[in-house]
Amino acid sequence: MKIETTNHSASKRIKLIKIKEQELDKLIFSFNKHNITSLEYKPFSRFSLAKSVDDVFSGELSKVLNTILKDRNTGTVVIQPDIKNSKFDKDFLAKLSTALAYLVGLPNFDSMSEKYYARFHVNHSDSSDSYLRKAYINMDLHTDGTYVKEKTDWLLMTKMEEINVKGGESVLLHLDDWEHCEEFSSNPVGKQNFAWGSPKSKNVDYKVEHPVFFKDEEGKPTISYIDQFPEPKNMEQGLFLQRLSDALEESKNKIVLPLSPGSTIFLNNYFWLHGRRPFKKDVNLSRELLRIRGVFFLSI
Ligand SMILES: [Fe+2]
């Protein structure tokens, strides 16, 4: 089968891969050879799952994903499987997400879930200590992995299920589309080391130090930033972060991306920022998400 890639209607920087029902049917056989527990316990089984998915697409899927994710002009792909039929359940989506991740690289250990992936709900009420599960508060633009030692090259988010959901759209911003990129990335404060910690629920018991802005091999700016976790050491750093936060949120070039249940956003974590709009209030609101974050294979 051939992979068809189109531009997403929201932006030509975002590619869209639709997987039809008859194509999903061809994945069922290889998916049935694995269950979620064996995928969790045996890392090699995730590679064979991914290979079997790539084989269904004549080896093209891994090439297409790697090309999009590493291309500075794109860097984001939405994978939209046609899952209207109930045989494509949440286990199916977890396996598809695993396969997609292992076609480009290795997931980092997710301390929050203590697995290679994390599944979590956003509901009406929440008593947690971060913005991740606060449904009615805007989740500001950020990158992932700011407070861990591991590199986070890419991020994959799959919408597993949605009930009584209005609002809560994904918001994305490509660094090269941000009006203030040059101003902030060349500011000496942005190159200083900041201290980054995290709240208890993240299960990370250390702090790291790194700047907000880096340069890639071609000298282009990259960003590692989230509003909640940097711990400014002085007035200069505190005010820089406030101005940075305001300048990101005020950008006119943010992309608002509704995402149908079952779909995956797969993005480069160095030059794409992501966030979420608030949900409309509903006591029965429920969204389940799966995320995997990781690094690219070195050999590709
Ligand atoms: Fe995030």
Q: What angle do CA 135, 223, 148 make, to 5 degrees?
A: 70
- Give 209: exposed, middle or buried? Use CB within 10 Å, 0-12, 13-18, 19+: exposed
Q: What is the CA(262)–ligand 1 centre distance, in A? A: 18
Q: What is the CA(264)–ligand 1 centre distance, in A? A: 14
Both structure tokens of 53 = 């998915």
Mean pLDDT of 79-88: 92
Q: How far is 8 from 216, CA to CA, in rounded Å? A: 26
Q: What is the CA(32)–ligand 1 centre distance, in A? A: 31
What is the pLDDT at residue 299? 63
| Predicted TM-score (pTM) of this structure | 0.95
Residues with CB under 5 A from ligand 1 (ion): 144
What percentage of residues in the chain have a pLDDT greater than 70?
99
Q: What is the CA(98)–ligand 1 centre distance, in A? A: 18
Name the DSSP letter for residue 217: T
Mean pLDDT of 64-85: 97
